[in-house]
Amino acid sequence: VIRSKLMTQDEVKTVLRTLPSAHRDDPKQLADHLVRSGKLTRFQTSKLIRGIYQGLVIGPFRILAPLGRGGMGTVFLVRDSRESRLAALKILPPRLAKESRMKARFQREMEMCRKVSHPNLAEAYDVGEYRGIHYIAMEFIPGRTLSRMITEEGQLDPARAARLFAEVADALHHAHGQGVIHRDLKPGNILIMPNDVPKVVDLGLALMHGESGEDAEVIGGKGYIVGTMDFIAPEQTTNAARVGPRVDLYSLGCTMYFALSGRLPFPGGTSKEKVKRHRNEEPTPLAWLRPGLPEGFVTLIERLMSKDPEGRPANAQETANELRKWAGANHSVVDLGDSNRILEQMVNPGPGSSEYSQVSLPEYQELVELPAVRPLFPTWLIVLLGVFASVLVVGAIVGL
């Protein structure tokens, strides 16, 4: 615990005084006590009890629990000791940092994050490197992905959908104004906060306006399609490095189609088949799947999903203005401060609580381990010490 820098020697001594003397030599009892007293999380103690203490503190960030991973980096829930705030820390594992293309991709995302700042975009407030570990510190959003919300609650009410997507369009307008094209807008990249405010996340596939084709190929390599096939604009499947902001409007239209109908524009099939359908086919009319939607609302979604970029709205701001014609008010009265306190209790149970509840985040992310580190003692030494101890015991018995 002390070597990990999660607690000082004096803090550990103070905790030990509150632990029954019979349990002080039992690592598991100590670990449970540290969790119940709110000093450490179960994830932290699960590492420490195996002798793995490195990597639990990265600069000012204390790792609390794993959140998930994408194709490029792992994400952890952390506490920033400078401001005592919860944050999501995206880390490029050292093994991936050795690959020049992966390192370039991560650094590219860091630059993208520096360029944007908007209430409906996940805030990246710190980027940097600590002892060879590259990281992006982002605000932690205690919410669900839009995809998960639709799965759990069903289709969105049109007035609520119009309000949510108007705010998403606002975020896109800001990003486009900074020269950033998202290129991967989808339900899984829109988080809905407890106060029903959407946040667009993940600039990992974003394109910077004016980038050369060679720069853009850092993401997927030459000849690869960049994006998510269920929501990708036709022109993005042809040359992802030569697209404009309207590719995000097409993806927004596909996302709205999904949110209002509960189904993908082109369900089933292989990736190649989906690409072909985005280029050449029209989806089942939304009005057939969801009768009763305002005609103008449906027409706007159809315009957003136009195969020809020129057939879409001129920009994201125009889209947001149109959507607000059908938007309802946000009646949420959730106190975000309360939600953060609840989250803190989940990760760091208070006194008297022995239940460990790991933070449950979007289903498209999987739990991950910290970057691999060597245990405090190598396996061969542990085995050797065990054998040596057995010999001593046998010798003592024989001596008796």
- Give which of 359, 355, 371 is closest to 67, Cα–Cα: 359
Domain presence at residue 298: yes
303/220 same-domain check: yes
Average pLDDT over residues 158-180: 97
- Give which of 85, 59, 78, 62 is closest to 6, Cα–Cα: 62
191/310 same-domain check: yes
343/295 same-domain check: no
Q: How far, in Å, CA of 232 to CA of 311, rounded? A: 16
Half-sphere CA count of 119, side-chain side, radius 13 A? 7
275/312 same-domain check: yes
183/276 same-domain check: yes
- Give per-residue burial for 56-89: e unless 16+ CB within 10 Å, then b: bbbbbbbbbbbbbbeebbbbbbbbbeeeeebbbb
Helix/strand/coil for 381 = helix
Q: What stretches of 133-262 adopt beta strand conformation (E)?
A: 133-139, 144-145, 180-181, 190-192, 198-200, 207-208
Which residues span the domain enclosing 348? 9-141+338-380
Average pLDDT over residues 39-58: 89
Average pLDDT over residues 301-326: 98
Domain presence at residue 274: yes
Q: How far, in Å, CA of 371 to CA of 364, rounded? A: 21
257/373 same-domain check: no
374/271 same-domain check: no
Q: Terminus-to-terminus CA distance in the chain, angstroms?
A: 39
Q: What stretches of 182-313 adopt beta strand conformation (E)?
A: 190-192, 198-200, 207-208
**CATH code, domain with 307:** 1.10.510.10
Mean pLDDT of the chain: 81
pLDDT band per the 50, 70, 90 thresholds, residue 118: very high
pLDDT band per the 50, 70, 90 thresholds, residue 219: low
The per-residue pLDDT for 368 is 34
Backbone torsion region of residue 47, taken as left when φ is above 0, otherwise alpha when ψ lies between -120 and 50, otherwise beta:
alpha
107/189 same-domain check: no
Looking at the DSSP assignment, which residues form a beta bridge with residue 136? 90, 127
249/358 same-domain check: no
The per-residue pLDDT for 155 is 96
Domains contained in the chain, number: 2
Q: What count of other Cβ atoms lies within 10 Å of the Cβ of residue 131?
A: 9
Report residue 185 as tokens.
Answer: 């807008």
224/262 same-domain check: yes
- Give the least confident one: 51-55, 107-111, 328-332: 328-332
- Give which of 90, 85, 82, 86 is closest to 59, Cα–Cα: 82
Q: 241 and 213 in contact (C-beta within 8 Å)?
A: yes
Q: Are strands 207-208 and 180-181 parallel, antiparallel or unpaired?
A: antiparallel
Give the amino acid at 361. Answer: L
Predicted TM-score of the model (pTM): 0.77
134/21 same-domain check: yes
Average pLDDT over residues 31-55: 89
Give the amino acid at 275. Answer: V
Backbone torsion region of residue 375, taken as left when φ is above 0, otherwise alpha when ψ lies between -120 and 50, otherwise beta:
beta
Angle formed at CA 366 by CA 360 and CA 370, multiple of 5 degrees: 100
pLDDT band per the 50, 70, 90 thresholds, residue 362: very low
Q: Report how far apart, in Å, the C-alpha atoms of 77 and of each of 20, 81, 255 are.
A: 31, 13, 27
pLDDT band per the 50, 70, 90 thresholds, residue 225: confident
Active site residues: 184
Q: What is the 3-state secondary structure (H, E, C) of 206-231?
A: CEECCCCHHHHHHHHCCCCCCCCCCC
Q: What share of the chain is helix, strand, coil (3-state, %, to 5)?
A: 45, 15, 45
Domain presence at residue 167: yes
pLDDT band per the 50, 70, 90 thresholds, residue 336: low
160/201 same-domain check: yes
The per-residue pLDDT for 312 is 98
